[in-house]
Amino acid sequence: MALIQTNGLGKVYNSRTVPVEAVKHVDLSIEKGEFTAIVGPSGSGKTTLLNLIGGLDQPTSGSISIDGTNVANLTASDMVEYRLHHIGFVFQAYNLIPVFTAKENVEFIMLLQGVKKAEREKRAEELLQAVGLGERMNNRPSQLSGGQQQRVAVARALASHPAFVLADEPTANLDSESTASLLDLMAQLNKKYDMTFVFSTHDARVIQRARRIVTLEDGMIKADEAAA
């Protein structure tokens, strides 16, 4: 059974003028341990597709199965709970809580899960060590570089023991050195933990590192191939 399976997935946004069909009849299967990039020009539907898979948006048609659960049928409150325990997110803008330290940001997901203080502190420290920020765990986001903030975001995404991590344009705000470092980190985590990563990106640096490339155009899959 695929880790992520979409069938006939569609999303229509109703604007003031004409409806916009952002995703059209997408059939996609992603197995555990994949390192996959969803690519395409702006407006191709890649972020919408990621948001649908992550339960941040509701499909207009079709189904989304994660580990055999059709999440498209979950209520809004059940989807919030499902995301909390099963899906890790890395966003373009980091989305760290500015008044929290790096360690507190990583702990926050576990706090919402009800994990005991000693356990969540231990895991946050281990994850920050794993992403190379063991000496910066008491720094707030404003005291960290963009690349370091994104590493905190990766640690936070892994804190909940997710089934997979969705990364929406994770390198868009990073320089070349920080991008290479972040991609090295994600590749290492993918290999070490068999952690599934799905990226939406138009960054050639990410595409070069992906092992599978799914190309969207006008909301539809135009190509799906293993990287050369």
Cα(72)–Cα(6) distance, integer angstroms: 10
- Residue 128's closest CA among 111, 112, 144? 144
Q: Which residue, chain included where needed, has tokens 């055999």?
A: 68
CA 69 → CA 82, 151, 203, distances in Å? 10, 30, 32
* Average pLDDT, rounded, for the chain: 92
**Are the C-beta atoms of residues 170 and 150 closer than 8 Å to each other?**
yes
- The closest of 164, 173, 163 to 203, measured between CA atoms, is 173
Instruction: List all residues 6 or more positions away from 36 whose beta carbon is below 8 Å from its beta carbon.
Output: 30, 197, 198, 199, 210, 211, 212, 213, 214
Averaged pLDDT for residues 145-174? 92
pLDDT tens, position by position, 178-200: 899 999 989 998 998 899 999 99
User: How large is the angle between the packed helices 176-193 and 146-158, nearest 10 degrees?
Assistant: 20
Gap between the Cα atoms of 30 and 41, Å rounded: 22
Distance of CA 165 to the CA centre of its chain: 4
97-134 confidence digits (pLDDT tens)? 999 999 999 999 999 999 999 999 999 999 999 899 99
d(CA 222, CA 216): 6
* pLDDT > 90? residue 172: no
Q: How confident is the model at residue 160 (pLDDT cuts 50, 70, 90)?
A: confident
* pLDDT higher than 80, residue 173: yes
Q: Please check the confidence at residue 228 and state whether its pLDDT lies above 80.
A: no
Domains of the chain, by residue range, sit at 4-223
**Mean pLDDT, residues 167-174:** 89
What does the pLDDT read at residue 73?
Answer: 85
Shortest CA distance to 29 belongs to which of 55, 8, 2?
2
pLDDT above 80 (res 227)? no
CA distance 95 to 220: 29
> Which ranges of the chain would DSSP assign to H, the alpha helix?
46-53, 76-86, 102-113, 117-130, 146-158, 176-193, 204-209
pLDDT of residue 18: 83
User: Would you state the pLDDT for residue 112?
Assistant: 92
Top CATH class of 4-223 equals alpha beta
In the predicted model, is pLDDT for residue 1 greater than 80? no
**Ramachandran assignment for 71, one of left (phi > 0), alpha (psi -120 to 50 degrees), beta (any other):** alpha
Query: pLDDT-derived band of residue 27, with 50, 70 and 90 as boundaries?
Result: very high
